[in-house]
Structures are given as structure tokens and as C-alpha cells.
Amino acid sequence: MRALFLLVVVFAVSGCVSIPLPSAGQSDETPTNSAVPSKGQNKAGSAQEGKNSADNYGYHPLDPLPIDLRIPKSKILDALPDETIRIAVGTVSAEGAITFGPAKFGVSGSNYVVILDYIKFGTDSFGVAVSSDSKGVRTAKVLPDSEVLKADVVVPVYIGVGLRLTANILVKNVSADLNLGSLFALGVAAKAGQVSGTLVIQTLGVSGPEISGLIPMPGEISESTIQNAILALASIKAKIYDPKTLITPRVVGVFNNLGGGDTTINGVISTLLQRPLPFPRSLKIVEKETTKLAVNKTAKR
């Protein structure tokens, strides 16, 4: 099992809460004051807006968030039927905001966050009603289960346990495109002095005395630290089914189908902290959301 995991890593290498959304064609970066930017600033800002708007959709890893667990601990792993390895690449703006998108190439002078997740999970969801006021300001309202049939959008949420490797990098100077989706490419680039940064391993809902000793200290990115990190991930993964290991499911990610970047994601995080999702939920509620989602897709065709 450990060898298989290494191989896969190598190839992968109850009240309502409102979330503000950008207006159509507008991103989180849109200025709110009336100052008129210079021609150069306007061009750069427009490019950044378009980029953010395009990249704001898709899988977004989250720091582990609590859930309302409704099954015995002995049944937890049985309630998490799916396993996957995902890589998420985020671009860090000058203000520190992170926009996640598909794997991309690094640009000299830019900062990125590369996250490799192994998760054993179940997919849940919550209903969202989207509305606009007279000024065109869009708001996403997270609905309680009792009002799920009023939802305009159903947002998938990934609940489970796993492991996360996070690389925070600065691309210094590259003569060719640097593949940020490959950890080994980052290691080679670090050896050549083309990138610098740190590497961190984090468990997601997995703990215990034998786990703590397997987590390496954060270190500078290099070929050796990446190799050691992958070996540590494989060793920890092998302990998930150990009776001594403590398993506590968490919300580990969300599929952002609303757009809006940090504004939306921070709203989702606030919602899940105020009202942790019950897991697993009543089958009737899940069926209602599935039916509603199917009806919405049919209506849009």
C-alpha cells in the first residue's frame, strides 16, 4: 500500500448566513473608490481582474474545519468511501490574497502556494440562494436544511481525513516555464537557485502518539526535503487504519462554483464555523439537494 501511494504521488506530482459575491464581470480586486487609475494601472488592474475571475472556480483546499459528527468513531472510516490525491496551485497577490486555479507555470518574481492533498473523504453539500440588490451587488445566502429547496446553487464540500504538503515558494529567475504542478521540478529548480521557499506537512483529522513523531519539521525547499516529505506522507498514511490512531473528520476542501475568490471562500469558512455541517446527514436532505441541483441544470439548458 505504501509503495502504491508513493507511485501515485510521483505521477500526481440553522439561521441563514450571507456571503457577498462580485457583480457580473467583477472580481474581488475591483477598486471601491472613485479614483481614476492611470492608463498603466488600469491595464494591469483589468488583466488581474480577468485572471482572478477565471481562476476563482474549482477545488479550494481549506484549513481543517470542525463538523457535527453523528456516527460512532468506529464507523468513521466506513463513512468516507472515496480517496484521492489533488494538487492545487495558488497565486499570491501583493496584498497576500491567494487565488487557486489549475496547475500552471511559474513566472519570475511571483509568489505561489502549491498544495498536495491526500484525502479519504465523503462529499457533502449545502444549498445557496443567490440574489442581487438594486445596485447589482450579488449576495449568496447559505440556507439551512429546512430551506434547501429554495437553493439556486448546491456547493460541494469535502469532509474527511488525510495529509497535506504545502510549499510556499518565490520564483526568482527561470529561463523557461517552471511547472508548479510537479514537486520534483520544484526540487530541481530549488537546487539550481531558481526558487526559494518552505515546505510544511500537515495532518487533516489524523493524530496520535505515533503520528506526531512522523511529521518532519518545516524546512527549505530542496530535492531532499521533498523526498523526505513524500516518504513521511506515505508512513503516516499507512497508520490511518491503526487502532491507536485518532480519526476526526474535518471539512478539508470545497468546490467553489460561486466565483468571488477570497470573499466567497471566507464567507464559506465563516458559515461552516458558525454552523458546522452534520455528518453524515439525513438521506432525505441529500436527496432533496440532489433533486434541486438536477432541476437547476435542466432549467439552464
How many other CB atoms are found less than 10 A from the CB of residue 213? 8
Q: What is the mean pLDDT of residues 280-291?
A: 59
| Residue burial 29-61, b: 16+ Cβ < 10 Å; e: rest | beeeeeeeeeeeeeeeeeebbeebbebbbebbb
Is the pTM here over 0.75, yes or no? no
Can you give the pLDDT at residue 55?
Answer: 46
Which residues, other chains included, contact 72 with Cβ-Cβ below 8 Å and sequence gap of 6+?
none
Q: Say which DSSP state 285 is in.
A: H
- Summarised one tens digit per residue, pLDDT across range 29-71 is 433 333 333 334 343 333 343 344 434 678 889 999 999 999 9
Q: What is the mean pLDDT of residues 62-90?
A: 91
**Cβ distance 137 to 183 under 8 Å?**
no
Which residues, other chains included, contact 196 with Cβ-Cβ below 8 Å and sequence gap of 6+?
169, 170, 172, 190, 220, 221
- Summarised one tens digit per residue, pLDDT across range 101-149 is 765 788 888 889 999 999 999 998 888 887 777 777 666 777 877 787 8
Q: What is the mean pLDDT of residues 91-96?
A: 80
Q: How confident is the model at residue 161 (pLDDT cuts 50, 70, 90)?
A: very high
Q: How confident is the model at residue 245 (pLDDT cuts 50, 70, 90)?
A: very high
CA-to-CA distance for 130 and 156, rounded, in angstroms?
A: 16
More confident residue, 132 or 90: 90
Which residues, other chains included, contact 142 with Cβ-Cβ below 8 Å and sequence gap of 6+?
16, 17, 18, 19, 126, 127, 128, 267, 268, 271, 275
